[in-house]
């Protein structure tokens, strides 16, 4: 690498952070069942402890996203204990995720439900989540809705759109000055005929309608096959409406596979578009990088370390693109040379530089190996296996 590239890589790595999801350390499954792991976290403290391990060895994961019903079941009463856990494990509470899809009352939707009482209950939960975020010092309220329908003609889509607009505006009105509301989208599942927030355009319109503190959240698994996600990213950047990401990978649909396991070049292209935007505008994008994956078969902590390491590597590769040369090639329509700016950066082995950067900051040169040598996994397996295996018996 040239001196310019080395300097760019060091600046990029020193600024990069990515948020861990609490639910990524717990037992998860599919519609068909769960395969429980003896070391999986079953309490909020165990999730903090495991996330703390990932941050300890990688150095780039200071925050943990929390799901209100799963991590703060008593609502605002749990903010004190959670703040204590954050201090104990060297983390901060990250994005707060309301849950308006799990309870039976949401069978026909939440903010889009035809029953005003259900809409009122869903909004009350979201507003409580805003207060939870304030109590934890969390900036981002992350909103994903399962709302939709499975059969043609069974719901009034126009009414549901207006109900969503009203609910999101009400939630936005309760945000503090330093808080944001991130609106996520998904084309299908669990709704299979129509989904109320099905794509980035719908999320964008809802966010713009809600107010200036609302942005769009892009989940890399929430798109149709072969959709150009980096184009969506560039549009949202240009409109100042890109709030954050949920990173994962997919082969077919929303598969929740490990980030970069199927198409690492796509993640690289996303990071490149962001860094190119920052170079061109001279301002850093206010973007929350978050992981949202379900590790049903891989070990939870190892899968997270693998994910974070991959994210750092792809971000580092993207930082190597010669933006000035690329801009010149684009202006001249020098197609081969322009594409080579990306391909050359992507093919560069940045791992030696990553190791040097890590060592210079007192981090592990090889986070996975360091974690495996630490004995942490063996200890928590011994401590948690009986509880997790008891769950296997009750589940069966």
Residue-wise pLDDT for 44-65, tens only, equals: 999 999 999 999 999 999 999 9
pLDDT confidence tier of residue 391, bands split at 50, 70 and 90: low
Please name the residue that has the structure tokens 């950047």. 237
- Rounded to the nearest 10°, the torsion over CA 357, 363, 368, 373 is 140
Average pLDDT over residues 31-48: 91
Indicate the average pLDDT of the chain: 96
Computed on alpha carbons and rounded to an integer, the radius of gyration of the chain in Å comes to 21
pLDDT confidence tier of residue 132, bands split at 50, 70 and 90: very high
Cα distance between residue 383 and residue 283, in whole Å? 47
Average pLDDT over residues 119-136: 98
Three-class HEC string of 213-258: CEEEEEECCCCCCCCCHHHHHHHHHHCCCEEEEEECECCCCCCCEC
Average pLDDT over residues 353-372: 97
Q: Buried b vs exposed e over 315-354: b needs ≥16 C-beta within 10 Å?
A: bbbbbbbbbeebeebeeeeeeeebebbbeebbeeebeebb
Report the 10 Å Cβ neighbour count for 53: 23
Give yes or no for residue 32 having a pLDDT over 90: no
> Which residues pair with residue 175 across a beta bridge?
none
Range of the domain at 204: 3-395
Q: Which of 16, 35, 14 is nearest to 26 (CA)?
A: 35
Give yes or no for residue 8 having a pLDDT over 50: yes
| Contact by Cβ (8 Å): 388, 42 | yes
Cα distance between residue 160 and residue 209, in whole Å? 15
What pLDDT is stored for residue 387 in this prediction? 87
In the chain, where do the E strands start and end?
A: 20-21, 29-30, 33-34, 63-67, 92-97, 140-143, 148-149, 180-184, 194-195, 214-219, 242-247, 288-291
Average pLDDT over residues 243-249: 98
Number of domains comprising the chain: 1
| Contact by Cβ (8 Å): 133, 178 | no
Q: Which of 246, 191, 196, 194 is nearest to 222 (CA)?
A: 246
Average pLDDT over residues 137-164: 98
pLDDT confidence tier of residue 396, bands split at 50, 70 and 90: very low
What pLDDT is stored for residue 392 in this prediction? 57
Q: Which of 294, 311, 222 is nearest to 260 (CA)?
A: 311
Question: Who wins on pLDDT, 34 or 202?
Answer: 202
Identify the CATH number of the domain in which residue 305 sits.
Answer: 3.20.20.150
Residue 124, CA distances (Å) to 204, 211, 217 in order: 23, 19, 22
Please name the residue that has the structure tokens 């107010």. 211
Phi and psi for 321 in degrees, rounded to 5?
-60, 130
Q: Enter the tokens of residue 365.
A: 């040169």
Average pLDDT over residues 156-183: 98
Average pLDDT over residues 236-242: 98
């Amino acid at each position: 690498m040239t001196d310019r590239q080395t300097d760019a890589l060091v600046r990029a790595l020193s600024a990069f952070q990515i948020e861990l999801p609490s639910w990524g350390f717990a037992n998860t499954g599919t519609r068909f069942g769960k395969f429980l792991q003896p070391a999986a976290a079953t309490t909020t403290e165990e999730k903090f402890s495991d996330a703390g391990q990932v941050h300890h060895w990688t150095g780039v994961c200071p925050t943990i996203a929390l799901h209100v019903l799963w991590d703060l079941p008593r609502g605002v009463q749990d903010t004190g204990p959670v703040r204590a856990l954050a201090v104990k494990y060297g983390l901060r509470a990250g994005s707060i995720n309301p849950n308006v899809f799990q309870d039976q009352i949401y069978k026909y939707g939440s903010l889009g439900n035809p029953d005003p009482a259900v809409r009122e209950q869903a909004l009350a939960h979201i507003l409580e989540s805003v207060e939870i975020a304030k109590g934890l010092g969390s900036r981002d309220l992350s909103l994903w809705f399962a709302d939709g329908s499975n059969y043609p003609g069974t719901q009034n889509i126009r009414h549901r759109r207006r109900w969503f607009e009203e609910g999101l505006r009400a939630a936005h009105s309760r945000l503090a000055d330093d808080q944001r509301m991130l609106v996520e989208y998904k084309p299908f599942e669990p709704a299979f005929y129509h989904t109320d927030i099905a794509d980035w355009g719908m999320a964008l319109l809802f966010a713009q309608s809600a107010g200036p503190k609302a942005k769009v959240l892009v989940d890399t698994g929430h798109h149709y096959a072969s959709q150009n996600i980096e184009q969506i990213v560039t549009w949202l950047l240009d409109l100042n409406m890109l709030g954050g990401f949920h990173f994962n990978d997919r082969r077919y649909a929303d598969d929740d596979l490990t980030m970069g396991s199927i198409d690492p070049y796509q993640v690289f292209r996303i990071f490149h578009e962001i860094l190119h935007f920052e170079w061109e505008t001279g301002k850093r994008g206010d973007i929350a990088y978050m992981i949202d994956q379900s590790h049903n078969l891989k070990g939870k902590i190892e899968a997270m370390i693998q994910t974070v390491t991959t994210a750092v590597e792809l971000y580092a590769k993207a930082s190597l693109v010669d933006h000035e040369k690329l801009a010149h090639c684009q202006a001249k329509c020098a197609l081969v040379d322009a594409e080579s700016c990306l391909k050359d950066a992507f093919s560069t082995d940045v791992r030696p530089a990553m190791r040097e950067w890590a060592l210079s900051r007192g981090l592990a040169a090889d986070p996975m190996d360091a974690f495996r040598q630490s004995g942490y996994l063996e200890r928590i397996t011994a401590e948690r296996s009986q509880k997790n295996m008891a769950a296997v018996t009750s589940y069966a």
